Amino acid sequence: MRAPTRHRNRLRAILAVVSMAAAAPRAMGATVEASTLLRHYDDGDTQVTSPSLDVGTTFNNDRMKLGVGVASDVLTSSSSDVRTYSSKGKITDNRKEFSTSFETAVPDGTMGFGYIQSDEADYHSKIVMASATREFFQKNTVIGLGFSNGQDRIGDAGNPDFDEPMNHQVYSLSLTQVLSRLSLIQFLYDFRVESGYVMSPYRKAKLKDAAGAILPSLTENHPRTRNRNALAAKYNFYSQPLDVSFATTYRFYIDSWAVRSHTLEERVSKELGKRWSLSLILRYYTQSKAVFYQDYYESGSALPFRTGNTTLATYNSVLLGLRPQYNLTNHLSLYAKYEYYLQAFNDASDAGDYFDPNDDKKLTTNAQVVGLGLNAKF
């Protein structure tokens, strides 16, 4: 676990950056924007409370941008996996994240750099990022490139000697095309490479013998590499007769573990007078299972890999969201969010009492997310 002194030093660094940004001379055209959000997730078994603060400034006549952010996740869980495999009835965890970014204008485009550090008692992650854009045809066409490199260290709270690395790189390409003054389309491609300990020391794979009798579970064993591909198309359109903005997104995903997914999302936004605005979100997701995924593995099976990760199973999910915003002044706005999430698995079960197969039932997740935030410009 990281020493408190290091967290204090990090906070001092953030406050120093914010102070310098706020003190930037008006002659340089500096503006500062701060946004804070308190988010709470609850699916009945797992609760996550996530406060965050992001501060950004533009300066040098809006040619440069600097941002810093801090976030935290406080998790409490008595999920089916915890009840089945843990001797504790409930587990808790706390994650702290720090991020910073810088972007500058260059001839016909931008260049940017960023850094994210995330720490838990048993998981530490550092990510460096770089990005660039290039504009063509009077800024109607924009090509974007991105790269990030992450290095994670994974531990085990029950084994102080456990220490495994996991590295990941993401290569991104985007094309944004303005179609008219009311619409634009965007295409995005991400290629992510993961290597190392691509699993969890806590998850268990369920096991039975040829006769169907339940055997003691085993720690999961994943391939040491995973390549992920994601291709997305976004279409944004503003309807003048309705005074409504529409944002439609389709995403296709496939990886080297044979997981395939499709995501379709629609976001509708409308201003309600001078102070109120409202956004509605509908998202549908469907996924096929990993090639080595099984709800129960048979003892003596020739399969070299096994998993207890239900997100590698076949499932569908639906998300419904609502986000109202109220502008208190021209520089201060208050916003809220509410999301309902339903996830239904085809081939994953809630084991309940692990050694009693009669209480197995299809795994489903019903979650609600509420949030309240404040945005200020000065």
**Residue 106 lies inside a defined structural domain of this protein:** yes
Query: Would the pLDDT of 322 be above 70?
Result: yes
CA distance 212 to 40: 40
| Per-residue model confidence as pLDDT tens digits over 185-212 | 999 999 999 999 999 999 999 999 988 8
| CATH at 220 | 2.40.160
Q: How far apart are the first and last CA of the chain?
A: 37
pLDDT at 81: 66
Burial 224-260 (b: 16+ CB within 10 A, else e): eebebebebebebebeeeeeebebebebebebebebe
**Residue 7 lies inside a defined structural domain of this protein:** no
State the residue range of the domain holding 200: 33-55+66-377
Residue whose C-alpha is closest to residue 203's, from 303, 91, 286: 91
**Residue 5 lies inside a defined structural domain of this protein:** no
pLDDT at 357: 80
DSSP state of 224: S
Query: Using CB atoms within 10 A of its CB, is residue 191 exposed (0-12), middle (13-18) or buried (19+)?
Result: middle
| pLDDT band (50, 70, 90) for residue 85 | low
Question: Residues near 319 by Cβ (< 8 Å), separated by ≥ 6?
Answer: 281, 282, 283, 285, 339, 340, 341, 342
Contact between 112 and 131 under an 8 Å Cβ cutoff? The reply is yes
**Residue 22 lies inside a defined structural domain of this protein:** no
| pLDDT band (50, 70, 90) for residue 2 | very low
pLDDT at 355: 83
**Residue 61 lies inside a defined structural domain of this protein:** no
| pLDDT band (50, 70, 90) for residue 78 | confident
Average pLDDT, the chain: 91
**Residue 338 lies inside a defined structural domain of this protein:** yes
Residue whose C-alpha is closest to residue 186's, from 132, 145, 143, 131: 143
Task: Kindly list the strands in the beta sheet with 214-219, ordered across the sheet, starting from the edge strand earlier in the chain.
Answer: 214-219, 204-208, 297-298
Residue whose C-alpha is closest to residue 367's, from 345, 346, 338, 347: 338
| pLDDT band (50, 70, 90) for residue 30 | confident
Structural domain count, the chain = 1
| Per-residue model confidence as pLDDT tens digits over 219-271 | 999 999 999 999 999 999 999 999 999 999 999 999 999 999 999 999 999 99
The residue assigned the tokens 């013998």 is: 209
**Residue 76 lies inside a defined structural domain of this protein:** yes
H or E stretch at 83: helix 80-85
* Predicted model pTM: 0.89
**Residue 21 lies inside a defined structural domain of this protein:** no
